[in-house]
């Protein structure tokens, strides 16, 4: 009997958008393979046979992984493949192997049972720790255990590459090795119950440019094989069995997106310049090292925001200077001659790490966050500063300080860097002397005193995510008041204009690195306000470049003057929409604000 004869009614689910684009197609449920694991005690004379069986399965798994790693490297150019490397490292770990052998030789368990017990023990102890990073490592371990078990049981693999025709994959979870198997011609999109923005599956989907929404919680139980599905990877929406009108709307959006993607490929290597020849630099924002190459592959002119605090999260100890240096150096080397802007530790607010022991606060966003934390913890801060200035030597690095509220904080950081330089010089270390220092302008007090701050820095970068929340007193993470989080509020726009004009008067370049940099409607204003650099997630770069190349700076300037005189966000956005309709109508679909 078929699982279902009548299609369920249209249903819309919201999840985390991890890879943009639209996919429309039939669902294929990718079921987890369930093995029955034989468990029996073995006789003394069978021990060697079981050990050989286990060793063979281990070797086969290794060969498979190496093959997958190669396919992946071929498919995704130079993408860093730490997770396959990590799987291989786990396989080579004598502790894992010895634990299984002990279970076989001393406890007389058959190989499958021994493997099951050892892996379950590891997986359970890691799963009990509440930590996003570790839960992703649990997924790695689980994926690996399944792979070895399949080889022990001599089962054939359930592979995504075996799928016939085109499909949208619906799964509880997808392992990196599942994702890498995806052929773009067959797998047109996917949606899963689990996963986070930094999960490997998310990274791979972006690298393969397959539209994907993850973290949908229960998509796998709501969708049936063969259901019609829309995956809107740009907005994190999955629609099950869409009605005709919705389907038509998305088909139009799909056609526009496809046309765009083709055009975007062509403009990747072109200059980011308006029709009347005004240049605006486009750089990438990164959180993890895997994104470095993605920025380069999308035509980013450097890294405009390296959120370094992500290197401190999901761990119980602080990273050493050596660890930080290795990653910072990699970024500098890969990005040169373009710049890497290392944003110093922005811990606190909504980002906490076990390693920091920050106590609970009533208002963490107004509390012990970012530079406030760093100045109170000079050891942690000095370690990071030292790693940055040493790494910068291998490319073109700069330092950027978050959550500046007054110039005094910048002066203190400069004093610390000065002392560090003395020590490094004494120790004959290689480092960038007089590294460029920038302030993030995210707090109104810094915006209002920008003339003072400009005299102490080499550049400024406007963090619009925080500037909006601090200017409007609207918590950026509180969904109850999200309708009040309005980046087009006249107060925000006036502030950005004031910051830019004042910094320019002092010959200081101005960057924008908040999410707003990649919002088409805001980008146009930034062009008209003379912003020098926009930094955004890698995937947004080509599209924003296309927008910049299709407008005139002169017109954008006129638009800015007009909107700055308007009374509220509604009027302002309508004025920008008029501009888009007239000058670059293909961007109307990007009206997401």
Question: Which distant-in-sequence residues (6+ apart) come within 8 Å of 513 by Cβ?
Answer: 285, 304, 305, 440, 461, 462, 463, 464, 534, 535, 536
Q: Give Cα separations from 213 to 136, 234, 440, 591 (angstroms).
A: 17, 8, 31, 20
Tokens of 443: 């707090």
What secondary structure does DSSP assign to 118-143, as a single string?
A: HHHHHHHHHHTS--HHHHHHHHHHHH
Q: Which of 122, 137, 307, 573 binds ligand PEP (CB under 6 A)?
A: 307
Alpha helices for 76-93 (secondary structure H): 82-92
Q: Which of 200, 298, 489, 511 is catalytic?
A: 200
Tokens of 158: 């359930």
For residues 496-525, which are near ligand PEP according to CB under 6 A?
Answer: 513-514
CB of 153 to ligand PEP, least distance (A): 46
Q: What is the DSSP letter of 348?
A: B
Per-residue contact track with ligand PEP, 333 to 352, x per CB under 6 A? -------------x------
What radius of gyration, in Å, describes the C-alpha atoms of the chain?
26
* Piece in contact with Mg ion (CB under 5 A), picked from 121-129, 317-325, 466-474, 561-569: 466-474
Nearer to ligand PEP, 204 or 539 (CB): 539
Residue 515 touching Mg ion (CB under 5 A): no
Choose the contact partner of 307 out of ligand PEP, Mg ion, none; CB within 5 to 8 A by kind.
ligand PEP
For the chain, give the longest Cα–Cα distance: 89
Residue 498 CB burial class (10 angstroms; 0-12, 13-18, ≥19)? middle
Nearer to ligand PEP, 334 or 476 (CB): 476
Q: Which of 463, 487, 528, 542 binds Mg ion (CB under 5 A)?
A: 463
Nearer to Mg ion, 131 or 466 (CB): 466
User: Is residue 251 within 8 Å of 232, Cβ to Cβ?
Assistant: no
> Is 298 known to be catalytic?
no
Any idea of the CA torsion for 96, 100, 101, 103, to the nearest 10 degrees?
A: 140
Choose the contact partner of 305 out of ligand PEP, Mg ion, none; CB within 5 to 8 A by kind.
ligand PEP
CB of 440 to ligand PEP, least distance (A): 7
d(CA 140, CA 123): 10
CA neighbor of 189 nearest in space, from 216, 168, 215: 168
List b or e across 506-532, with b for residues whose CB sees 16 or more CB atoms inside 10 angstroms.
Answer: eebbbbbbbbbbbbbbbbbbbbbbbbb
* Piece in contact with ligand PEP (CB under 6 A), picked from 38-46, 325-333, 463-471, 564-572: 463-471
For the chain, the 3-state helix, strand and coil shares in percent, each to the nearest 5, are 50, 15, 35
CB of 343 to ligand PEP, least distance (A): 7
User: Is residue 527 within 8 Å of 280, Cβ to Cβ?
Assistant: yes
Residue 305 touching ligand PEP (CB under 6 A): yes
Choose the contact partner of 299 out of ligand PEP, Mg ion, none; CB within 5 to 8 A by kind.
none
CB of 173 to ligand PEP, least distance (A): 27
Residue 43 CB burial class (10 angstroms; 0-12, 13-18, ≥19)? exposed
CB of 3 to ligand PEP, least distance (A): 44
Choose the contact partner of 464 out of ligand PEP, Mg ion, none; CB within 5 to 8 A by kind.
ligand PEP
Residue 466 touching ligand PEP (CB under 6 A): yes
Q: Give Cα separations from 160 to 211, 296, 421 (angstroms).
A: 16, 29, 53
Nearer to ligand PEP, 351 or 590 (CB): 351
Residue 533 touching ligand PEP (CB under 6 A): no
β strands within 118-225, DSSP E: 167-171, 187-192, 212-214
The number of residues that bind Mg ion (CB under 5 A) is 3
Any idea of the CA torsion for 362, 364, 366, 371, to the nearest 10 degrees?
A: 140
CB of 513 to ligand PEP, least distance (A): 5
Q: Show the CA angle centred on residue 517, arms to residues 515 and 520, nearest 5°.
A: 105
Residue 304 touching ligand PEP (CB under 6 A): no
Per-residue contact track with ligand PEP, 250 to 289, x per CB under 6 A? ----------------------------------------
Residue 486 touching ligand PEP (CB under 6 A): no
Q: What is the DSSP letter of 393?
A: T
Per-residue contact track with ligand PEP, 389 to 428, x per CB under 6 A? ----------------------------------------
Residue 290 touching Mg ion (CB under 5 A): no
Residue 25 touching Mg ion (CB under 5 A): no
Per-residue contact track with ligand PEP, 189 to 218, x per CB under 6 A? ------------------------------
Residue 464 touching ligand PEP (CB under 6 A): yes
> Is 200 known to be catalytic?
yes
Length of the chain in residues, anyone? 593
Nearer to Mg ion, 324 or 443 (CB): 443
Residue 466 touching Mg ion (CB under 5 A): yes
Q: Which of 176, 463, 487, 542 binds ligand PEP (CB under 6 A)?
A: 463
Residue 438 touching Mg ion (CB under 5 A): no
Task: Summarize as ranges the residues that interact with Mg ion (CB under 5 A).
Answer: 442, 463, 466
Catalytically active residues, by annotation? 200, 513
Q: What residue ranges bind ligand PEP (CB under 6 A)?
A: 305, 307, 346, 442, 463-466, 513-514
């Amino acid at each position: 009997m078929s699982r279902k004869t009548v299609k369920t009614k249209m249903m819309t689910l919201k999840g985390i958008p991890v890879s943009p684009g639209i996919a429309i197609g039939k669902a294929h449920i990718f079921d987890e393979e369930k093995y029955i694991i034989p468990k029996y005690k073995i006789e003394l004379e069978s021990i060697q046979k079981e050990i050989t069986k286990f060793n063979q399965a281990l070797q086969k798994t290794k060969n498979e992984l190496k093959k997958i790693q190669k396919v992946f490297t071929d498919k995704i150019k130079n993408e860093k493949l730490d997770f396959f490397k990590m799987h291989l490292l786990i396989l080579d770990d004598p502790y894992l192997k010895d634990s299984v052998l002990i279970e076989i030789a001393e406890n007389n368990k058959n190989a499958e049972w021994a493997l099951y017990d050892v892996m379950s023990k590891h997986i359970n102890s890691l799963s009990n720790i509440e930590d996003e990073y570790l839960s992703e490592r649990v997924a790695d371990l689980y994926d690996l255990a399944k792979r070895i078990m399949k080889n022990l049981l001599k089962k054939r693999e359930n592979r995504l590459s075996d799928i016939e025709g085109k499909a949208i994959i619906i799964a509880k979870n997808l392992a990196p090795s599942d994702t890498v198997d995806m052929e773009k011609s067959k797998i047109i999109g996917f949606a899963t119950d689990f996963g986070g923005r930094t999960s490997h599956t998310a990274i791979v989907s972006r690298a393969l440019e397959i539209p994907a929404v993850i973290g949908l919680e229960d998509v796998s139980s709501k969708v049936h094989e063969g259901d019609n599905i829309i995956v809107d990877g740009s907005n994190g929406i999955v629609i099950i069995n869409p009605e005709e009108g919705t389907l038509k709307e998305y088909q139009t959006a799909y056609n526009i997106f496809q046309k765009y993607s083709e055009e975007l490929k062509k403009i990747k290597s072109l200059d980011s310049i308006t029709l009347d020849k005004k240049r605006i630099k486009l750089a990438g924002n990164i959180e993890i090292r895997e994104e470095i190459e993605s920025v380069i592959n999308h035509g980013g002119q450097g890294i405009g925001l390296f959120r370094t605090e992500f290197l401190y999260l999901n761990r119980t100890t602080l990273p050493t200077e050596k660890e930080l240096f290795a990653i910072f150096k990699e970024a500098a080397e890969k990005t040169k001659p373009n710049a890497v802007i290392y944003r110093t530790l922005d811990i606190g607010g909504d980002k906490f790490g076990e390693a920091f022991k920050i106590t609970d606060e009533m208002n963490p966003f107004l509390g012990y966050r970012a530079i406030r934390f760093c100045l109170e913890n000079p050891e942690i801060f000095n370690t990071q500063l030292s790693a940055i200035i040493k790494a910068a030597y291998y490319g073109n690095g700069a330092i950027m300080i978050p959550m500046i509220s007054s110039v005094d904080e910048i002066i203190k950081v400069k004093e610390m860097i000065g002392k560090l330089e003395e020590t490094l010089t004494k120790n004959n270390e290689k480092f960038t002397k007089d590294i460029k220092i920038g302030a993030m302008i995210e707090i109104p007090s810094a915006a209002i005193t920008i003339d003072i701050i400009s005299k102490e820095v080499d550049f400024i970068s406007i963090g619009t995510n925080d500037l909006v929340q601090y200017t409007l007193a609207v918590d950026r993470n509180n969904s109850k008041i999200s309708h009040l989080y309005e980046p087009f509020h006249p107060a925000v726009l006036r502030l950005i204009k004031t910051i830019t004009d004042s910094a320019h008067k002092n010959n200081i370049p101005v960057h924008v690195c908040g999410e707003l940099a990649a919002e088409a409607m805001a980008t146009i204003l930034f062009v008209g306000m003379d912003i020098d650099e926009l930094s955004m997630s890698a995937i947004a770069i080509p599209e924003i470049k296309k927008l910049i190349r299709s407008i005139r700076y002169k017109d954008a300037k006129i638009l800015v003057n007009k909107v700055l005189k308007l009374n509220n966000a509604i009027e302002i956005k309508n004025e920008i929409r008029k501009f888009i309709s007239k000058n670059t109508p293909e961007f109307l679909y990007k009206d997401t604000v």
